[in-house]
């Protein structure tokens, strides 16, 4: 007979979403276990953008002081034409965004953000962090959740949050949906600033756009590193095949860009590429004592830089509902969380796709109309981003 270990409130996945959820559940007075498949908790070596909506959550968890040790606060978000080099529009990320939303726009190295969250979890006596726990099966019962790991370990959790990313095992309880791709692929990484400083912009987040491609650049880790993400549509994409989005295609796509962009791409590491997938929104991710959070609930394209921000919003809202319902009815707390978060995250998933279509537009008329609109915008006009960054203004959540 297989021995089962009883554990309390459990989170599967120790990414940004999972660790934030663990902090929130601990805040609500629970003992929490985090099960992570990797031998060590960590993140990949690239940057992350955090809108004011994410900074509000990090503030709520008391982490802004730690974040400040690594963060860069850019002055502007600039959109440029990658073919001509022309600046198309910008958004003021200085004082005006803080006045508007109460928090600054922040860019940082992913491993720095993850470290801040991990250290907060490690310091919290209510949180137990376990590595080498690759979950292979999750079974939902009325009063508990069974979790099987590939190591043979079996847990009986009092309740469960599946924060195990886009290829989530937990999501399989709700949907067998496959990832959706348009054949886009990303190359990314952070380069030591002294190697690239001649070609870097120290103050701004820059997004270069052109048909079927874009390049994002910004400094991270107190401006010691320069993050670059080069994304393009592979015309060799075929379902089930892996030989698409190659470094040769990267060079071919970016070879048609202006010299500054061409030069930037020479610094990209070609060792690893990320295939871009999202999924359709689903209409339920909660049952009994189990719910989903972050990419496992609502995987989205990264074009609006909101995936991790949404995972943080999830964690904040879940915390409020766990506080509100206490131990009496976890299912009510999970359902109330889902009711708020499902429409919000579905909207971001859908708009990320639309923004991808806008920045990658190939049609000359569509590009002309887009660029004329961009050129009429004021840099301190927040109308286009209000729905995204202004979430907490409308919600019942309040922050100190
Ligand atoms: C190129 C690119 C750029 C991006 N830029 C931004 C940005 O600027 N801003 C932003 O907000 N978002 C951005 N995103 C999106 C963001 O990275 C994700 O939305 C975010 O990391 C999701 O966090 P998560 O914790 O839900 O999932 P993940 O980060 O995927 O974490 C899941 C965790 O679960 C673990 N796990 C998985 N399966 C199992 C299992 N079976 N058992 C146990 N553990 C398991 C994994 O090892 C991992 O630690 C970007 C994404 C990409 C691809």
The tens digit of pLDDT for each residue in 115-147 reads 999 999 999 999 999 999 999 999 999 899 999
State if residue 51 touches ligand 1 by the CB under 6 angstroms criterion. no
- Report pLDDT digits (tens) over 295-325: 999 999 999 999 999 999 999 999 999 999 9
State yes or no: pLDDT of 108 exceeds 50: yes
Q: How far is the CA of 364 from the centre of ligand 1 (A)?
A: 35
For ligand 1, atom 7: residue with the closest CA: 305
How sure is the predictor about 226, in pLDDT bands with cuts at 50, 70 and 90? Answer: very high
How sure is the predictor about 400, in pLDDT bands with cuts at 50, 70 and 90? Answer: very low
Q: How far is the CA of 303 from the centre of ligand 1 (A)?
A: 14
pLDDT at site 311? 98
- Report pLDDT digits (tens) over 3-55: 899 999 999 999 999 999 999 999 999 999 999 999 999 988 899 999 999 99
pLDDT at site 395? 54
State yes or no: pLDDT of 396 exceeds 60: no
Mutation to probe ligand 1, out of 307, 318, 351, 385 (largest number of atoms < 8 A from CB):
307
In terms of C-beta distances under 8 Å and separation of at least 24 residues, what long-range contacts does 218-221 make, across chains too?
218/47, 218/49, 218/72, 218/74, 218/107, 219/72, 219/74, 219/107, 219/193, 220/47, 220/70, 220/72, 220/107, 220/108, 220/109, 220/112, 220/190, 221/70, 221/72, 221/108, 221/109, 221/112, 221/190
Burial class for 165, CB neighbours closer than 10 Å (0-12, 13-18, 19+): buried
Q: Compute the mean pLDDT over every residue in the chain, rounded to the nearest whole number.
A: 95
Q: How far is the CA of 163 from the centre of ligand 1 (A)?
A: 9
């Amino acid at each position: 007979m297989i021995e089962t270990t009883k554990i309390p409130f459990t989170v599967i996945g120790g990414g940004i979403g999972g660790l934030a959820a663990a902090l929130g559940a601990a805040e609500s007075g629970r003992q929490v276990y985090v099960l992570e498949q990797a031998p060590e908790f960590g993140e990949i070596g690239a940057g992350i953008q955090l809108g004011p909506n994410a900074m509000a959550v990090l503030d709520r968890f008391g982490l802004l002081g730690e974040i400040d040790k690594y963060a860069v606060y850019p002055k502007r978000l600039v959109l440029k034409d990658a073919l001509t080099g022309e600046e198309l529009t910008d958004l003021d990320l200085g004082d005006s965004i803080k006045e508007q939303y109460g928090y600054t726009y922040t860019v940082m190295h992913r491993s720095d953000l993850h470290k801040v969250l991990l250290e907060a979890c490690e310091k919290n006596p209510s949180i137990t962090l376990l590595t080498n726990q690759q979950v292979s099966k999750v079974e939902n019962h009325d009063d508990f959740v069974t979790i099987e790991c590939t190591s043979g370990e079996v847990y009986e959790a009092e309740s469960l949050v599946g924060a195990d990313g886009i290829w989530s095992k937990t999501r399989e309880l709700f949907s067998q949906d496959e990832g959706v791709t348009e054949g886009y692929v990303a190359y990314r990484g952070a380069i030591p600033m002294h190697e690239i400083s001649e070609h870097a912009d120290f103050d701004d987040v820059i997004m270069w756009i052109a048909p079927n491609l874009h390049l994002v650049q910004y400094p991270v880790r107190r401006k010691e590193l320069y993050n670059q993400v080069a994304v393009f549509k592979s015309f060799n994409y075929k379902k089930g095949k892996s030989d698409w989005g190659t470094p040769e295609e990267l060079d071919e796509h970016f070879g048609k860009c202006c010299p500054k962009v061409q030069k930037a791409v020479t610094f990209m590491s070609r060792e690893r590429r990320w295939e871009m997938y999202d999924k359709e929104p689903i209409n339920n991710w909660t049952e009994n004592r189990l719910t989903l959070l972050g990419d496992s609930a609502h995987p989205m394209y990264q074009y609006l830089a909101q995936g991790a921000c949404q995972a943080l919003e999830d964690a904040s809202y879940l915390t409020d509902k766990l506080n509100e319902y206490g131990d009496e009815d976890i299912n009510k707390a999970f359902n109330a969380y889902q009711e708020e978060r499902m429409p919000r995250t579905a909207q971001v998933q859908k708009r990320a796709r639309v923004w991808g279509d806008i920045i990658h537009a190939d049609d000359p008329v569509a590009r002309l109309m887009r660029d004329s609109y961009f050129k009429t915008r004021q840099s301190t006009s927040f109308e286009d981003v209000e729905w995204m960054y202004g979430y907490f203004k409308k919600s019942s959540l309040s922050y100190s």
